Amino acid sequence: MNKSQLVESVAKKTGLSRREATVGIDSAFELISKELKRGGKITLTGFGTFDVGKRRARAGVNPRTGAKIKIGAARMPRFRPSRALKKDVRK
């Protein structure tokens, strides 16, 4: 499912127009992004948790040249599904 299909499904399920559904979905994504940029955490009960993890600096290899390179430390967004979501997907 892509974003336009998600918008269409939300619009049908809620009775909203496509434009209203798009605004709602875009707003939710924007709020999640802003909170993660601040280093925060978003917990959606029954769905999962979005948070920021830290990746340590490490050594890597350039696949074209084979040269060794240093890959810097980085903050990465993570998603951890809830037990309920895991259970629903396994069915």
Phi–psi pair at 74, nearest 5 degrees? -150, 155
> Token pair of 32, please?
């999640």
- Domain region containing 47: 41-91
For each of the chain's 91 residues, which pLDDT tens digit applies?
999 999 999 999 999 999 999 999 999 999 999 999 999 999 999 999 999 999 999 999 999 999 999 999 999 999 999 999 999 999 8
Q: What is the pLDDT of residue 91?
A: 81
Domain count across the chain: 2
Same domain flag for 33 and 50? no
Whether residue 56 is found in the same domain as residue 68: yes
Residues 45 and 34 in one domain: no
pLDDT on residue 7: 96
The encoded tokens of residue 77 equal 């967004």
pLDDT at 12: 96
| 45 in the same domain as 33 | no
Cα–Cα distance measured from residue 56 to residue 73, given in angstroms and rounded to the nearest whole number? 5
pTM over 0.85: no
